[in-house]
Amino acid sequence: MKHKFYKHLLGLTASILLIGCGATTMVSTPIEKIDTMPLKVAELTESQKKSWGHADLATDTIPGMSVDKAYREIIGTRKGTKVIVAVLDSGIDLKHEDLDGVLWTNRKERPGNGKDDDKNGYIDDIHGYNFLGDSYNEQLEYARILRLKLGDAGMQAKAKAKLNGEYQQALGNKQQYEQILQAVEAADTAVKKHLGKTNYTKKDVSGIKPESEELQQHVSVLMQMYTFADSIPEVLEELNGGIKHFTEQLNYNLKVDFDGRNVVGDNPYDLMDTNYGNGNPQNRVEDESHGTHVAGIIGAERNNGKGANGVANNVAIMSIRAVPNGDEYDKDIALGIRYAVDNGAKIINSSFGKSFSPNAEWVYEAIKYAASKDVLIVHAAGNEGANLDDPNNPNFPNDQVNNGPEIADNVITVGALDPKYGSEMVASYSNYGAINVDVFAPGTDIYSTVPNNKYEFMPGTSMASPAVAGVAALVRSQYPSLSAPQVKKIILESGLSTKATVILGGDATKNDTLDKISTSGKIVNAYNALIMARTMAKGR
């Protein structure tokens, strides 16, 4: 997915080139104490790294969502009502050991008979629907605008400027990564030879007394790499992953004459052309891992002795494959939202976004339709480190036009947090905006499910959004009488406030407080949300 970016590698590039996301009355800890509490100095333990998003700020000095505290002190063993959560994303590994027990199943459909048994318009949709058919790699929307000459002259001019800039950046990044890889591989080979062993540690490297300037340079390269990863094999894996990422950008995402949709058989710019796709939303390749990771954050089977615990304990994950390795089509998103609503989803997670949307009105109408059916939509703010309130930084889909009033009251837009409380807790990549971003939640290096029964850490607002969708599912499960707007209000108002000034976009010269860069000014908190939900459900 284009949303899986290489946070560490971006810093790695800069480094090697030098060588050659007011507290409510429910907050149990007074806000003054939170803002004066000692910052966590010690590194996170391996256990904390894998579950930091569930930690409690007051107890752990980690800006998590107090999920563990919510289960320990409020939920206990109560399951509540099952909530269907649609993951509108890439395909999901439906066979994953930590997800196979929490999948939504369409009991009205008979699998594999090639018929639309339940007459919902979709054949063999057992666990959801696949709007992408056999396609995977795709262009970004502005490349499609140029290929198909969509929109007016102004849109095409903006698309061309955007494409030119991004293409050159991707090309430059690819070349830099290749240079870095060459340097690291050379250093790795030289140090292995010097030490006389194929496996070595940071301590081994730091203990080398270079016999030559060349060996000194090799040691310097490796020691810098250890500031980004625990081992050189990890560095090499990330570098190769980065090269692959930028190569895909150049070959597919940013290539004007590439058409990834031609295998689907529909007109993606005709909303009435709906006879396409299939009932199998399984991921097509191992690299198609984004949807699986998102699903795990929401509802991976809890306390089963396997890799990760989802936020919500009683969900049914509906897989809607609509986001390719490139920009999603407005048509697929609009139809995907409507599919989720019509088939019982109460929450839709939308961890995707793009800067151009030729048919944004299709999605706006789908959002309004979801609102009319009491469905909550949780959306990722995006990973450009930009102020979305600036008209030059659009991010679609959204719930308002040109910073105007919200078109519906059922959308929560989520920015991302790092696990370090204080000035650096808003992730450097996270978008923000007092009008366009509602709340912040854990997003950096989140441990969750990926295809083939594996687990990985991934960063992004794409990870913060499902964390909030999970909290919303907890609330709707425990208090099913609450409406989508009420759940939104609870999540926005029950979070933790902080007076801390945070760095924006990774630029130390740009900083502000959460209340100036989001609608709520708060960090999502599951414990507080459940307390407020209980009060609201009782009508107080």
Q: What is the CATH number of the domain that holds 33?
A: 3.40.50.200
The answer to whether the beta carbons of residues 145 and 155 sit under 8 Å apart is yes
The answer to whether the beta carbons of residues 435 and 413 sit under 8 Å apart is no
Segments in 398-479 forming alpha helices (H):
461-478
Domain-terminating residue out of 184, 218, 253: 253
For residue 488, give the nearest of 436, 459, 524 by alpha carbon: 524
Q: Check whether residue 409 and residue 496 sit in a common domain.
A: yes
Residue 296 lies in a domain: yes
The answer to whether the beta carbons of residues 219 and 184 sit under 8 Å apart is no
Q: Check whether residue 330 and residue 448 sit in a common domain.
A: yes
Q: Check whether residue 221 and residue 315 sit in a common domain.
A: no
Distances (CA, A) of 506 to 53, 293, 382, 431: 21, 25, 15, 11
Give 432-488 pLDDT, tens digit per residue.
Answer: 999 999 999 999 999 999 999 999 999 999 999 999 999 999 999 999 999 999 999
Q: Check whether residue 187 and residue 309 sit in a common domain.
A: no
Q: Check whether residue 507 and residue 396 sit in a common domain.
A: yes
Residue 214 domain boundaries:
161-253
Residue 510 CB: number of other CB atoms within 10 A?
12
The answer to whether the beta carbons of residues 533 and 540 sit under 8 Å apart is no
Residue 234 lies in a domain: yes
Q: Check whether residue 323 and residue 246 sit in a common domain.
A: no
Looking up tokens 């629907």, which residue turns up? 129
Q: Check whether residue 303 and residue 206 sit in a common domain.
A: no
The answer to whether the beta carbons of residues 81 and 88 sit under 8 Å apart is no
Domain-terminating residue out of 221, 253, 285: 253
Residue 367 lies in a domain: yes
Domain-terminating residue out of 186, 221, 253: 253
376-380 and 347-350: which strand pairing?
A: parallel
For residue 218, give the nearest of 249, 195, 241, 243 by alpha carbon: 195
Distance CA 416, CA 331 (A): 27
Q: How far apart are the first and last CA of the chain?
A: 44
pLDDT tens sequence for the chain (540 residues):
344 444 444 455 544 444 433 333 444 444 455 666 666 667 899 999 999 999 999 899 999 999 999 999 999 989 999 999 999 999 999 999 999 999 999 999 999 999 999 999 999 999 999 999 999 999 999 999 999 999 999 999 999 999 999 999 999 999 999 999 999 999 999 999 999 999 999 999 999 999 999 999 999 999 999 998 899 999 999 999 999 999 999 999 999 999 999 999 999 999 999 999 999 999 999 999 999 999 999 999 999 999 999 999 999 999 999 999 999 999 999 999 999 999 999 999 999 999 999 999 999 999 999 999 999 999 999 999 999 999 999 999 999 999 999 999 999 999 999 999 989 999 999 999 999 999 999 999 999 999 999 999 999 999 999 999 999 999 999 999 999 999 999 999 999 998 889 999 999 999 999 999 999 999 999 999 999 999 999 986
Distance CA 174, CA 325 (A): 18
pTM for the whole structure = 0.93
Q: Check whether residue 229 and residue 346 sit in a common domain.
A: no
Q: Check whether residue 279 and residue 243 sit in a common domain.
A: no
Q: Which residues are 414's β-sheet partners?
A: 380, 439
Q: Check whether residue 107 and residue 173 sit in a common domain.
A: no
Q: Check whether residue 237 and residue 130 sit in a common domain.
A: no
Q: Check whether residue 437 and residue 530 sit in a common domain.
A: yes
Segments in 391-483 forming alpha helices (H):
461-478
